[in-house]
């Protein structure tokens, strides 16, 4: 386990609230003949390598573990630095650390890269042991249920019977919901941020454009581009540019860039100029950076899993899906998030009330659109502190079907 490593707290100035230098760990799960049976078509997949990181210390009672589910393009590296001289910190570093919203002085925080990803966990870019070549698009179809099945197995592998909480935003929130439905006795609290029980048609539409950009890239080669000189970089960057717009709000783009020009204060009136406006330059930059760290096939697999996620469809109804756990829920949406708008969170809350679950819901004011759950850390931390303390004080949940809480 990585707890020993997490204890090496960097002593440089201003870093008292950082988890310091951390290390990504690897576990191999579902080794044949115990392969994971995938939920879409019943195919079997194994062995599965899982990349994960942990922060803080597990109590002797093993009752203070919190699992963070990352969103579409995240990874296991939530907090701290991977090298002492690195300037880059984890994607939710502001939330995870000593004295922070997920307080690593109190809690043992775990995050794993999702199945189908490209950041250490088995995905389309991994070598298929049976053939010695990358899976590419021969990797079976994956669902959010499969992501959670792997997370759940990792928890068992780490010797943790029940999580204090599972938390995630966006696609991460979908995993939290799936977790509550699929392994209801494994969690004591669930935090669902900027998420929904299913992706809206508008969300599917944007994903469709992103995937089309990738598969029509001449370097895509039906997903077998790993041995080629170049992959579908152009398509992947384009997919990211489109998606990135959906993570922002009209107001935040206006405030950050407005109609300001990138190179001059005069219009060039050039048709082919790629970065005339600052917002253009920004999107190109986001696209280029994304290609450096993400695999196009993973993008296809993960967005498709997101499109197909439908909790009510999988479990009969939202009430049926969410009524099996005795976990207490914290649901939050953001005022300017138009990708996962407030009514979708309210739909979850209505189902949780109908299922007589313990649920708290807030709509947080933020100008940052869907990205708010990553950027507006302060209000989140203010809620998580009392919420997690109460969940912790309430003690472990009984390992039997829950009594009505309401």
Partner 1 sequence: MTQRKDRTDRRYCMPDPLAALTDEAILAHVARGSRVLDLGCGDGRLLARLRDEHGASVLGIELDLNQILTAIGRGVPVIQADLDHELAGFPDRAFDIAVLSQTIQQVRHPRLILTEMLRVAAQALVVVPNFGYWRVRLQLLRYGRAPVTSALPYEWYDTPNLHFMSMMDFRDLVEVVGARIVKELPMLGGHVVERAWPANLRADSALYILERRDAGVPAIDTQATHG
Q: Which helix (H) or strand (E) element contains residue 122?
A: none
Which letter does DSSP use for residue 328 in this model?
A: E
Phi, psi of 278 (to 5 degrees): -60, -35
CB of 98 to partner 1, least distance (A): 21
Closest to 216 (Cα-Cα) out of 282, 300, 139: 300
Q: Active-site residue among 18, 170, 345, 372?
A: 170
CB of 248 or CB of 327, closer to partner 1: 327
Q: Active-site residue among 93, 295, 337, 371?
A: 337
CB of 389 to partner 1, least distance (A): 7
CB of 369 to partner 1, least distance (A): 19
Q: 209 is written with which tokens?
A: 């454009």
CB of 288 or CB of 390, closer to partner 1: 390
Q: Active-site residue among 314, 370, 372, 397?
A: 370
Residue 275 binds partner 1 (CB under 8 A): no
Query: Contacts with partner 1: how many residues (CB under 8 A)?
Result: 28
CB of 254 or CB of 378, closer to partner 1: 378
The radius of gyration computed from the CA coordinates of the chain, to the nearest angstrom, equals 21
Bridge partners of 342, per DSSP, are none
Binders of partner 1 in range 372-401 (CB under 8 A): 379, 382-383, 386-387, 389-390, 393-394
CB of 322 to partner 1, least distance (A): 13
Binders of partner 1 in range 300-359 (CB under 8 A): 328, 330, 346-347, 349-350, 353-354, 356, 358-359
Residue 70 designated active-site? no
Segment near partner 1 (CB under 8 A); pick from 12-20, 158-166, 183-191, 362-370: 362-370
CB of 47 or CB of 379, closer to partner 1: 379
- Give CA–CA dist 360/192, Å, rounded: 10
Closest to 192 (Cα-Cα) out of 327, 305, 393, 326: 327
Closest to 160 (Cα-Cα) out of 227, 107, 102: 107
Q: How far is CA 8 from CA 4, 98, 370, in A?
A: 7, 13, 34
Q: 27 is written with which tokens?
A: 């576990």
Closest to 209 (Cα-Cα) out of 238, 171, 246, 248: 238
Residue 307 designated active-site? no
Given a contact cutoff of 8 angstroms between Cβ atoms, the answer to whether 356 and 299 are in contact is no
Question: What stretches of 158-200 show up as alpha helix (H) in DSSP?
Answer: 171-182
Q: 280 is written with which tokens?
A: 């253009």
CB of 242 or CB of 354, closer to partner 1: 354
Classify 148 in phi/psi space as left (phi over 0), alpha (psi -120 to 50) or beta.
alpha
CB of 66 to partner 1, least distance (A): 16
CB of 344 to partner 1, least distance (A): 12
CB of 3 or CB of 389, closer to partner 1: 389
Task: Provide the 3-class DSSP secondary structure of residue 359.
Answer: strand
CB of 273 or CB of 382, closer to partner 1: 382
Reply yes or no: is the peptide bond before residue 33 cis, omega within 30 of 0.
yes
- Looking at 57, 219, 360, 375, which residue binds partner 1 (CB under 8 A)? 360
Residue 314 designated active-site? no
**Could you identify the residue written with the tokens 């009594």?**
403
Q: 102 is written with which tokens?
A: 């997920």
CB of 252 or CB of 345, closer to partner 1: 345
> Cα torsion for 364, 367, 368, 372, to the nearest 10°?
-10
Catalytic residues, which ones? 170, 337, 370
Footprint on this chain of partner 1 (rule: CB under 8 A): 328, 330, 346-347, 349-350, 353-354, 356, 358-364, 379, 382-383, 386-387, 389-390, 393-394, 404-406
């Amino acid at each position: 386990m990585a707890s020993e490593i997490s204890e090496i707290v960097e002593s440089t100035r201003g870093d008292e609230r950082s988890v310091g230098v951390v290390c990504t760990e690897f576990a191999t799960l579902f080794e044949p003949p115990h392969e994971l049976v995938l939920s879409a078509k019943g195919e079997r997949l194994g062995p599965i390598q899982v990349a994960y990181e942990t922060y803080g210390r597990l109590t002797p009672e093993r009752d203070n573990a919190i699992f963070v589910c990352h969103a579409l393009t995240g990874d296991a590296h939530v907090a701290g630095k991977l090298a002492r001289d690195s300037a880059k910190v984890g994607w939710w570093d502001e939330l995870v650390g000593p004295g922070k919203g997920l307080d690593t002085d109190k809690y043992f925080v775990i995050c794993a890269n999702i199945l189908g990803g490209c950041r250490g966990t088995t995905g389309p870019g991994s070598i298929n042991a049976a053939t010695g070549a990358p899976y590419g698009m021969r990797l079976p179809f994956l669902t959010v249920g499969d992501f959670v099945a792997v997370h759940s197995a990792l928890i068992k592998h780490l010797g943790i019977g029940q999580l204090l909480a599972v938390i995630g935003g966006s696609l991460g929130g979908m995993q939290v919901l799936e977790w509550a439905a699929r392994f209801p006795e494994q969690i004591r609290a669930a935090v669902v941020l900027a998420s929904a029980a299913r992706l809206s048609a508008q969300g599917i539409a944007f994903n469709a454009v992103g995937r089309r950009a990738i598969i029509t890239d001449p370097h895509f080669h039906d997903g077998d581009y790993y041995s080629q000189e170049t992959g579908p970089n152009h398509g992947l960057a384009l997919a990211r540019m489109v998606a990135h717009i959906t993570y922002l709000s009209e107001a935040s783009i206006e405030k950050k860039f407005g109609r300001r020009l990138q190179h001059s204060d005069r219009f060039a009136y050039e048709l082919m100029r790629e970065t005339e406006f600052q917002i253009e330059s920004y999107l190109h930059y986001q696209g280029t950076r994304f290609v450096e760290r993400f695999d196009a096939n993973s993008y296809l697999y993960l967005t498709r899993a997101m499109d197909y996620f439908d909790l009510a469809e999988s479990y009969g109804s939202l009430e049926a899906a969410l009524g099996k756990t005795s976990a207490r829920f914290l649901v939050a949406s953001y005022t300017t998030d138009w990708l996962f708008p407030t009514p979708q969170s309210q739909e979850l809350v209505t189902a949780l009330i109908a299922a007589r679950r313990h649920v708290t819901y807030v709509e947080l004011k933020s100008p940052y659109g869907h990205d708010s759950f990553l950027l507006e850390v302060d209000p989140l931390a203010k809620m998580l502190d009392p919420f997690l303390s109460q969940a912790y004080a309430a003690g472990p949940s009984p390992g039997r079907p829950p009594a009505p809480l309401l």
